Amino acid sequence: MSHQITVMVHTPAHSGIGGALTYESDTAHTPGTLVRVPLGSRELLGVVWDEAAPLPESAEPTAAPMQLRAIASVLAGLTPLSAHWRQLVQFAAHYYQRSPGEVALAALPSQLRDLSTEQWARRLKRKPKAVAAFEGTTQAMPTPTDEQAQVLADIAAHKGPFLLFGNTGSGKTEVYLRAAQAELERNPQAQILVMVPEINLTPQLEERFRARFAPKWGADCLVAMHSSLTPAQRLKNWLAAHNGEARIVLGTRMAVFSSMPHLQLIVVDEEHDPSYKQQEGARYSARDLAIYRGQLEGAKVILGSATPSLESWHHSRPATAAEPAGRYMRLAMPSRVGQGALPLVRRVDMNRQPYKTVFSNHLLDAMRERVTRGEQILVLLNRRGYAPVLNCNDCGWKSECPHCSAYRVFHKLDRTLRCHHCGFTQPVPRACPSCGNLDISPLGRGTEQLEEHLAELLAEVCRPDGEPIRITRIDADSTRLKGELERQLAEVHAGAVDVLVGTQMIAKGHDFRRVTLVAALNTDGALFSSDFRAPERLFSLLMQAAGRAGRDANMHLVSPCEMWVQSHHPMHPLFEALKQHDYPAFAEQQLKEREQATLPPFSFQALVRAEARSQEAAQSFLNAARDAGAALADELLVDLYPAVPMTIQRVANIERAQMLIECTSRKALQHFLVHWQADLHLLRSAHRQVIRWAVDVDPLAI
Ligand SMILES: [Zn+2]
Ligand SMILES: [Zn+2]
């Protein structure tokens, strides 16, 4: 008997097909089976989506016989993807306003798509190697601290989801390791998903997991899942997880879609990190999907952070007389394990410093003293390049990018002007392109210039061994080459570097043992940003940076570790809270402001962005969409704001506009977006100048 089979394929976004196509097949393939199907002249990989239905016989003479094409082939030897996995994809597609086919196929390794039937058959024949014996040193497990033991007992006894609020250095990783171990020992099939923001920045974590689990569960028990894997590696790791052989998957946001049939525990480390939000295609939040997936599959979920997102903090609020507790369980670990005290925070009032001061004299003295004693220093400046703009002192010409509404950054090392938005790069002009004046000079300061400036300021200073001090810079420019970041970090770890200058990259989870002073420069911009999340990001960055200092309790210190913040607003509540290392106080103040302004987490947002050759075209599409949705929005109490240009209005000669949608009910917002989508598709065909448009649900940057 013939069957009618629905198959999800990757159709281009907004093609109107929506992803599910119907085919004919002699076999009633199980949902989740991977197949190849013809579409036009091409053959596509697809996932059988629903239960097969018998093909209706065209008995009625009036009905035209259905012209279904047949499935081309089946990817043999592969267990079908689970119903849970398909439901996760379906949910993500629905919530983030994309087609399930797009989400499903993006979540599968590209080689499944690219290998021919013959290649696939050969790939299947490849015998898995015998489980390799672990060849590392087995490390003794540390005894958990009282705080860790309490937290682990809570995780064992409750359902979660859990927000593990643990100070930098409180031993969150040990909690993840033990919670994972408990699951592996309890259930001989259990699988664990551990997500981290950026795998390159946390090389130590993979080693720790391997060292802990490989001796007992084999060297192949852990696989990585991130975008720097080769297609072949990705397929291998994906298959290991899909077949249940890999017990632990360690990966970045994409790993949330790993096929793991026996998933028991999901860990989201540094859950506040913005890189959990996908910025193109389906703009999903891997953290939020982890919560959904945990609930769907009955797996426990642990979100961990020293500075949780205000959303997660709010969701984990304890019950009060007026209000029940949030839906997450908050677990706290305030102490630092085997590490020194948190650094003393010193604020420098830049209003009292001479004009154009880069380092106040007090800070410089403190830095000189420390490097002389052989201690390490981190200098944080969140702006790369030499100077953010080149300026003509005569006519006022500035190094604008001809293709973007932004300045090109001056990079002194290769003497270029580089646009950080579209990449447009030119050699630095000898004279002002506008008036011919030779006196063009940099305005402002980036990490490159800071490195150069520090070398002058510290030129006379020597290390304890009499050698001149070494300054290194780590940012997106210095680490462009593969392996360069690892090499630079290793140098810092080995103690070859005395002063490390860098962007937020240096604040992440590195374990720099000898850092005793952290200095943060030019942080004021975030205090008064138009983006309401800027203070949250700054606070978390500074807390993380502060956490880099004093990690070695055994280090003999002449004076306590310090974090210096130079600011024109040193008494700002954000710095007050930082001084006390008091995240809860900061969160409370911020949440109060957000509640008064009805901002997330007290409301829910979505953005529609449109790109066109002219700003007018982009805005007119959005405003037409606004008109089309107005009645429904009114009914559902959804606010539709007028279209506005994006902060960087033009990138690579494309004009960009956006429109904010806000509602106090997530459900109403979802309902609105689902119904409104048809309007947007329809309007798009009338607004031919629009190049692309996309909806961003729960956007992280406004
Ligand atoms: Zn000029
Ligand atoms: Zn540009």
d(CA 58, CA 485): 65
pLDDT in tens, 539-583: 999 999 998 887 776 777 778 899 999 999 999 999 999 999 999
pLDDT in tens, 158-179: 999 999 999 888 889 999 999 9
Inform me whether the pLDDT recorded for 30 exceeds 70: yes
Q: With 0-12 CB in 10 A as exposed, 13-18 as middle and 19+ as buried, what is 2?
A: middle
- Residue 563 sits at φ, ψ, to 5 deg, of -120, 125
Q: Which ligand is nearest to the CA of 432?
A: 1
Higher pLDDT, 51 or 222: 222
Q: Which ligand is nearest to the CA of 398?
A: 1
- Give distance in angstroms: CA of 444 to centre of ligand 1: 18
Higher pLDDT, 389 or 198: 389
Q: Which ligand is nearest to the CA of 421?
A: 2
- Give distance in angstroms: CA of 389 to centre of ligand 1: 14
Inform me whether the pLDDT recorded for 15 exceeds 60: no
List strand residue ranges (DSSP E) for 435-530, in order: 440-443, 471-474, 499-502, 515-520
Q: Which of 32-46, 237-251, 677-691 has the highest mean pLDDT?
A: 237-251
- Give distance in angstroms: CA of 259 to centre of ligand 2: 39
d(CA 500, CA 493): 11
**Mean per-residue pLDDT for 634-646?**
95
Inform me whether the pLDDT recorded for 646 exceeds 60: yes
- Give distance in angstroms: CA of 435 to centre of ligand 1: 4
Inform me whether the pLDDT recorded for 64 exceeds 60: no
Token representation of residue 124: 């299947």
| Structure confidence at residue 67 (pLDDT) | 78
| Structure confidence at residue 555 (pLDDT) | 74
Q: How confident is the model at residue 58 (pLDDT cuts 50, 70, 90)?
A: low
| Structure confidence at residue 76 (pLDDT) | 85
Q: Are 615 and 657 in contact (CB under 8 A)?
A: yes
| Structure confidence at residue 205 (pLDDT) | 84
- Give distance in angstroms: CA of 416 to centre of ligand 2: 13
Residue 109: closest CA among 230, 194, 198, 21: 230
| Structure confidence at residue 484 (pLDDT) | 87
Inform me whether the pLDDT recorded for 63 exceeds 50: no
- Give distance in angstroms: CA of 398 to centre of ligand 1: 8
| Structure confidence at residue 291 (pLDDT) | 98
CA angle 298, 292, 15 (to 5 degrees): 130
- Give distance in angstroms: CA of 651 to centre of ligand 2: 6
- Give distance in angstroms: CA of 654 to centre of ligand 1: 27
d(CA 339, CA 173): 15
| Structure confidence at residue 14 (pLDDT) | 55
| Structure confidence at residue 480 (pLDDT) | 85
List strand residue ranges (DSSP E) for 540-686, in order: 562-567, 604-612, 639-640, 644-651, 654-663
Q: Which of 20-24, 330-334, 346-350, 599-603 has the lowest mean pLDDT?
A: 20-24
- Give distance in angstroms: CA of 430 to centre of ligand 1: 11
Q: Which ligand is nearest to the CA of 438?
A: 1
Q: Which ligand is nearest to the CA of 392?
A: 1
Token representation of residue 601: 């987490």
d(CA 657, CA 232): 39
- Give distance in angstroms: CA of 443 to centre of ligand 1: 14
- Give distance in angstroms: CA of 606 to centre of ligand 2: 27
- Give distance in angstroms: CA of 229 to centre of ligand 1: 48
Inform me whether the pLDDT recorded for 17 exceeds 60: no
Long-range contact set of residues 318-323: C-beta below 8 Å, sequence gap at least 24: none
Q: Which of 375-389, 417-431, 499-513 has the lowest mean pLDDT?
A: 499-513
Distance from the first to the final alpha carbon of the chain: 55
Q: How confident is the model at residue 342 (pLDDT cuts 50, 70, 90)?
A: confident
Higher pLDDT, 133 or 654: 654
- Give distance in angstroms: CA of 406 to centre of ligand 2: 7
Contacts of 375 (CB under 8 A, 6+ apart): 514, 515, 516, 517
Helix (H, G, I), strand (E, B) or coil at 407: strand
List strand residue ranges (DSSP E) for 31-142, in order: 34-39, 42-48, 53-54, 73-74
Helix (H, G, I), strand (E, B) or coil at 166: strand
Question: In the chain, pLDDT over 90 holds for what percent of residues?
Answer: 68
| Structure confidence at residue 497 (pLDDT) | 92
List strand residue ranges (DSSP E) for 537-680, in order: 562-567, 604-612, 639-640, 644-651, 654-663
Inform me whether the pLDDT recorded for 95 exceeds 90: yes
Residue 688: closest CA among 628, 610, 591: 610
Number of H helices and E strands in the chain, helices first, is: 18, 29
- Give distance in angstroms: CA of 393 to centre of ligand 1: 7
Q: Which ligand is nearest to the CA of 437?
A: 1
- Give distance in angstroms: CA of 230 to centre of ligand 1: 49
Q: Which ligand is nearest to the CA of 425?
A: 2
Q: Are 178 and 152 in contact (CB under 8 A)?
A: yes
pTM recorded for the entire structure:
0.91
**Mean per-residue pLDDT for 303-330?**
94
Inform me whether the pLDDT recorded for 134 exceeds 90: no
Calculated CA dihedral for residues 225, 230, 234, 240, nearest 10 degrees: -100
| Structure confidence at residue 204 (pLDDT) | 77
| Structure confidence at residue 124 (pLDDT) | 79
- Give distance in angstroms: CA of 439 to centre of ligand 1: 8
Length of the chain: 702
Inform me whether the pLDDT recorded for 690 exceeds 70: yes
pLDDT in tens, 73-94: 998 889 999 999 999 999 999 9
